[in-house]
Amino acid sequence: MLHTREIRDMALEEIEDRLNDLQEELFNLKFRRAIQQLENPLKIRVLRREIARLKTILNEHEKGIRKLEATTEKAGR
């Protein structure tokens, strides 16, 4: 699980890739839950929260509320 500070230090492409990976993993877990019992059902909650965290940071970046650190470093060079 990544903390907010670590996510803000990532590049936009990295965040989008991580978001896609987590969404795919969440889909697979939900599918397995429908078929059989999961070893760790709390994993679904953790994934949902991390996806929400990533989406929130992306939304803040898109609206200009708070820019990503990696993006501002590249712009400053």
Cα–Cα distance between 51 and 21 in angstroms, integer? Answer: 10
Residue 67 has pLDDT above 60, yes or no: yes
**Cβ pair 55, 16 in contact under 8 A:** no
Q: What are the CA-CA distances from residue 48 to residues 12, 15, 70 (Å)?
A: 20, 15, 24
Structural domain boundaries enclosing 57: 4-76
The number of folded domains in the chain is 1
pTM of structure: 0.86
Q: For position 17, what pLDDT does the model report?
A: 97
pLDDT digit string, tens, across residues 11-54: 999 999 999 999 999 999 999 999 999 999 999 999 999 999 99
Q: For position 72, what pLDDT does the model report?
A: 63
* CATH number assigned to the domain comprising residue 30: 1.10.287.310
